[in-house]
Structure 1
């Protein structure tokens, strides 16, 4: 059985997606496969994925749809993954060359965690990441399970999740239109699963104006996110003070994009 399955969903990915694929190809850990779901691209994305697959020796599975939506595309990818662990990588987020090795080692050493995420840093527009060399990787993951209810610390592109547990919990909620990852973390934690964070920045979270959060109505997005968080806070029966955090997150999301990006980068430097 393959140790790790990288899973990407994409639609009209362009050059940024190809940079993400190259970062997967450059992994030092080699016991992996790549599953790509092309969800109805109308550009050259499908052709470029096939060319990439032919140029590399690791297994690449391409699933092509006519446009089934993000939730179904993610679950189609999960169904095709053969790895013990699944690493989700969003189509515009490059990853550290040591990401698979470090997370796989941590997963084997810490079986109590269903999900292991990493730290991430913000990458603006088409900038290229400058990865730090990592020589020591012995630190234990930080348990961030309860933080999911307060301010989600899990970047989708940073996660490694045990496939067996993901399938047992029904994988992604296909009835949703957005916040597929946030809903999954909240559901997993509410059902007793634990999430650990590896203290290394192994993912670059790219921020650009073409992202769904920026190009669509931000108020509607924030309203749906807050409603989702309140739903799971109620299910979990958490202390009353937890309900302050969704309001704070809503207010933060209303700040101008430039301010949010600067605040995020300032936190990453601490």
Structure 2
């Protein structure tokens, strides 16, 4: 594990439309002690050729090809297993990093001795046009606070593996990132928010109401079947989750790689 190296984990499945822009946002980072691990989870489009063009020119871009589509949680776990960095960061193939994302966040962590941080981010559309919407951070999230709604964007997370390495593994379920954050925070870890817009999340044009309904079902399943909360606590957290969702006036992207159905 290389000290202060940041490993960026990028799963891709049929992402030819956006993967090049994603890679360029990493190449543009002001912090250069990085590696980008791109896990191609059985793409059947031109993703492989695009990725290979960059991995051959930039040795810090590592390309891992899977023979079949296993799912985003498997791809991310493969990336984590192959990461050499002390710090782990996540970036889906259709999202983008701002120029100072890694630099500002790792300084935030090192200066404060934090093990788990996340940042604010903005929203863009399918054409990379700003939607003039920012998702700000709270000062911190602990387990009890996060149960009331996942305010931690996966593309904004950075984790210090020297402190919580054994816990960083995604599970086979919907909202797998939310489940992982809860698992980490349950072990007396606090996630600290850096309220700077350092990433861009691409918002789908698919049905918002349909996605919200699915998201609510998945969240309820997490409360009952994964976290195994008592019914009264699950109902309380779920009500807070609903209110929080209306407050943000946004929705969580379904993590299935081909994000636009």
* Same fold? TM cut 0.5: yes
Cα displacement (A) at 1:54: 2.1
3-state SS of paired residue (2:213): helix
Match for 1:152 among 138, 150, 153?
150
Cα displacement (A) at 1:144: 2.1
Residue in 1 that maps onto 2:110: 108
Aligned Cα root-mean-square deviation (Å): 3.0
Match for 2:16 among 14, 17, 26?
14
Cα displacement (A) at 1:165: 4.5
Cα displacement (A) at 1:243: 4.1
Structure 2 unaligned regions, length at least 5: 133-137, 252-261
Cα displacement (A) at 1:166: 4.8
Residue in 2 that maps onto 1:92: 94
Alpha carbons 1:120, 1:201 under 8 Å: kept: yes
Cα displacement (A) at 1:261: 4.4
Alpha carbons 1:150, 1:242 under 8 Å: kept: no
3-state SS of paired residue (1:118): strand
Residue in 2 that maps onto 1:227: 221
Higher strand content, 1 or 2: 2
Structure 1 unaligned regions, length at least 5: 132-140, 263-270
Change (3 A) 1:128 1:200: same
Cα displacement (A) at 1:126: 1.4
How many equivalent pairs are there? 240
Once residues 117 and 251 of structure 1 are traced to their aligned partners in structure 2, the CA distance between those partners, rounded to angstroms, is 22
Cα displacement (A) at 1:248: 4.8
Normalization by structure 1: what TM-score?
0.78
Residue in 2 that maps onto 1:162: 160
Alpha carbons 1:16, 1:126 under 8 Å: kept: no
Higher helix content, 1 or 2: 1
Change (3 A) 1:170 1:27: closer
For residues 61-80 of structure 1, the aligned pairs below 5 Å read: 61-65=62-66, 66-80=68-82
Alpha carbons 1:149, 1:233 under 8 Å: kept: no
Q: Does 1:198 align with 2:199?
A: no
Once residues 122 and 153 of structure 1 are traced to their aligned partners in structure 2, the CA distance between those partners, rounded to angstroms, is 14
Once residues 92 and 217 of structure 1 are traced to their aligned partners in structure 2, the CA distance between those partners, rounded to angstroms, is 18
Normalization by structure 2: what TM-score?
0.81
Cα displacement (A) at 1:246: 1.4
3-state SS of paired residue (1:125): coil
Once residues 51 and 62 of structure 1 are traced to their aligned partners in structure 2, the CA distance between those partners, rounded to angstroms, is 11
Change (3 A) 1:201 1:216: same
3-state SS of paired residue (2:196): strand
Describe the superposition over 1:118-167 as per-residue Cα deviations: whole angstroms up to 9, x where unpaired.
00111122124599xxxxxxxxx922224312121100000111234453
Once residues 244 and 166 of structure 2 are traced to their aligned partners in structure 1, the CA distance between those partners, rounded to angstroms, is 34
Alpha carbons 1:147, 1:153 under 8 Å: kept: no
Cα displacement (A) at 1:109: 1.6
Cα displacement (A) at 1:67: 1.5
